[in-house]
Structure 1
Amino acid sequence: MKSLVRQGVVLTGTGSAVPDTCLDNHQLNQMVVTSDDWITTRTGIRRRHLLAPKNSLTAMATEAAQKAIAMAGIAPQNLDLIILATSTPDDLFGNASQIQARLGATQAVAFDLTAACSGFVFGLVTAAQFMRTGAYQNVLLIGAEVLSRWVDWSDRRTCVLFGDGAGAVVLQASEYDCLLGFQLHTDGTQNQYLKLGFQEQEKLLIDSIRVGQGTYQPIAMNGQEVYRFAVQKVPEVIEKALYRAGLDIEQVDWLLMHQANQRILNAVAERLNLPEEKIISNVANYGNTSAASIPLALDEAVRRGQIKPHDIIALAGFGAGLSWGAAIFEWGSLNS
């Protein structure tokens, strides 16, 4: 058996995809009692993209993946591993294998990872562990969500927040390691503050044998508790990840957090003493896309030249679980 050799990880490609259909705040006002001013003041969100019926998360995630693979300059057949971070799959048994087939990534093992809004950060750290041992050389990490399937569109507390989208990155093995430090956490005692729970109905099979069947209920969230949790925990976890990386906050070029709420982004930056111009934000145009939000924003920032080679980026995801985590990485390529 070949011995495993420690190697580094670099991010060499990004990609994203969103549905064509867009719902803005003025249109939402026709559905529930709200207003553009009420929504933007509290969340910073102005519009969100929604997946139309008969379209799939698989197709959207595949499109984002193809763009990331093209930027990385590799062939799908060179991929060793595909990780799909999602909480809203087309198939409850997982969608990563379907993406593998659509890409023609015949050599890649593929699996889904469920960690809601922390999913991309958890997926990034998971992929890095496979790569650092030398087990895999080329990894595709995708964050994709179709939250519109699970929103109560009569509940103005939640329906104004969520959107659909996908983002992807390609990670490649290198002598240089761009993942400089990370820290992950979970607190299941606070699970009730943000969940998408299963509601069962009892079904009699025969005699006294019964099973529970049913479906999942719409997203339920205690906004005040989630805000309080995020503003307290996210700065702490970023500081811990920076400590592991041996860096100070002044060395961070960009803060790229889960795009849940502009007020949260601003509050975290303020606690970290980071100026607003270092915040990467696209929440106004997409809303909360859960596991897709970080790679979607990353792809936009890379493609418009905002993020440059060797920039230090502090990533942070937080949400259902409750879970939260941070990763510090240096943007670059094998040739930069």
Structure 2
Amino acid sequence: MAYQPMTGVRCTHAVDLADRIDLFELIGNERVLELSHQGRGPGFATEATVAKSTGVEQRRILRPGVKPIDLAVEVIDRLAEEFGLDIHDCPWIGLCHSNTDPAAADRLADKLSRVVGLPRERVANINFGCVGYLELLRRGAGQLAELPEGTRVPLLTVETPEDWHDATDRAFCGIISAGATGTILQRDAGHKLRYINVEHIPVSDEIRNHQPFFWVEEGEFLRFSGDTSQRRVMRMNGEAVFLSGVNLMIEACRTAFNAVSPTDQRIIVVPHQPSGKMLRAMIAVLRDELPCAEIINNLALYGNSISSSIPTVLARINDVLVDQGSDRLSEGDLLLLPAAGICMETRADHLTQGWAVIEW
């Protein structure tokens, strides 16, 4: 399938809040080990087992008293500091906030419009899961094409997965992390958004081992803070999600690479950061298939922050490259952004896949 390149859409580099220790508490593997033994299944054996299984050394949860709205406002403030953005000049603002409660994103958008003094219809919110950042890019690019020259379109991701996961669930407790990011789409300056594609992929019952990919349970569940609360938490068919998710991530990367091939430009793959196991499997295949590409793994210190994972990498991309022994980005470098994960609308038998290409 041939994909048409986009024209006239550029994006700023991302900003994030991962450095804000006043907003986030860091959770290490010792705490994850402890939590994993308080649930109904077998826990991790040791801290080393947690690290090997998840690929994560620390993850973030909200500090007591901090709410998702606080993250959203702080991201807007950081966009104002970095790029001079006045949110009141923006006719359309994209917001991704994922949750098992489909109304959670609506409530956050309602609060945001009240707190910053915006008409509610300007805030376009989605509950989209791990591919949410790419969906924001897709929708934002479509909006930008219809808006007057000089308009800026901010994209916000605000993810607090501790609110909708069981802290004792070994499938999730070691990988998920809170995160919040901001990016601006515009026409006149920034990095070129060359391609963007998002789609929902149906997966057969046989491939899913005759079980749903994801389902929701309601009850009293332990939080990372140590208290329990009545919540709707996500459960996962781990083996089926791993196999299908890895394949879709690899396929997304191949498609993005083929869209820009042949090229002599430097290629850096910035994938969604799902888990250590999934990243290792994906990287093993891509290093053979795409030996020219550099592949980013930023999971250890940031975890899987759902839709915030890719822009969290983009916010510190040069530091990550240097830490991995690579050169900083130069003009003309191509970033491939593959992602796959939960399809929030039809989570039982679909996964969502997306990919984008950004030229630095």
- TM-score by length of structure 2 reads 0.75
Partners of 2:290 and 2:79 in 1: CA distance: 29
1:132 maps to which of 145, 159, 162: 145
Separation (CA, whole Å) in 1 of partners of 2:334 and 2:173: 34
Report which stretch shifted further, 65-74 or 45-54: 65-74
User: 2:24 matched to which residue of 1?
Assistant: 20
Conserved 8 A contact 1:79-1:139: yes
Structure 1: stretches of 5+ with no match in the other structure: 1-5, 201-214, 332-336
The equivalences for 1:17-96 within 5 A come to 17-18=17-18, 19-31=23-35, 32=37, 33-34=43-44, 35-88=46-99, 91=104, 93-96=106-109
What CA RMSD, in Å, does the superposition of the two structures yield over aligned residues?
3.2
Amino acid at match of 2:160: V
**Counterpart-to-counterpart distance in 1, 2:120 and 2:235:** 39
Q: Give the secondary-structure state (helix, strand or coil) at the position aligned to 1:285.
A: coil
1:239-258 CA-partner distances (Å, limit 9, x unpaired): 223444x3348645321111
Q: Is the 8 A contact 2:10 2:188 kept in 1?
A: yes
Deviates more, 1:312-321 or 1:169-178: 169-178
Q: Distance in 2 between matches of 1:302 and 1:69?
A: 22
Q: Are the counterparts in 2 of residues 315 and 327 from structure 1 also a CA contact under 8 Å?
A: yes
Count of aligned pairs between the two proteins? 311
Which string of whole-angstrom CA distances, capped at 9 and with x for unpartnered residues, describes residues 103-145 of structure 1? 4567981121121011111111111111124467211111121
Taking the aligned partners of 1:295 and 1:175, their CA distance within structure 2 comes to 18
What residue in structure 1 maps to residue 332 of structure 2?
A: 310
For residue 158 of structure 1, give the secondary structure of its aligned residue in structure 2. coil
2:34 match: secondary structure: coil
Q: Which moved more, 1:279-288 or 1:129-138?
A: 129-138
Q: Distance in 2 between matches of 1:116 and 1:157?
A: 16
**Counterparts of 1:174 and 1:107 in 2: how far apart (Å)?**
27
**Correspondence for 2:124:** 111
TM-score using structure 1 length:
0.80
> How much identity, in percent, do the aligned residues show?
22
CA distance, structure 1, for counterparts of residue 215 and residue 292 of structure 2: 33
Residue 154 in structure 1 maps to residue 182 in structure 2: no
Q: Read off the aligned partner of 2:359 and give its amino acid letter.
A: E
Q: Tell me the residue number matched to 1:288.
A: 304
The aligned residue for residue 252 of structure 2 is 237
Gaps of 5+ in 2: 1-5, 38-42, 220-229, 323-327, 344-350
Contact 1:15 1:66 in 2 (8 A): no
Q: Is contact 1:14–1:67 with CA below 8 Å preserved after alignment?
A: no
* Distance apart, 1:52 and its partner CA: 2.7
State the shift of 1:268 in Å: 2.4
C-alpha spacing 1:38/1:313, structure 2 compared with 1 (3 Å): same
Give the alignment partner of residue 122 of structure 1, picking from 135, 139, 144: 135
Distance 1:183 1:129, change over 3 A: same
Kindly indicate whether the alpha-carbon contact (under 8 Å) linking 2:56 and 2:303 is maintained by their aligned counterparts in 1.
Answer: yes
User: Aligned partners of 2:113 and 2:318: how far apart in 1?
Assistant: 25
One-letter code aligned to 1:140: P
- Partner-residue secondary structure (3-state), 1:283: coil
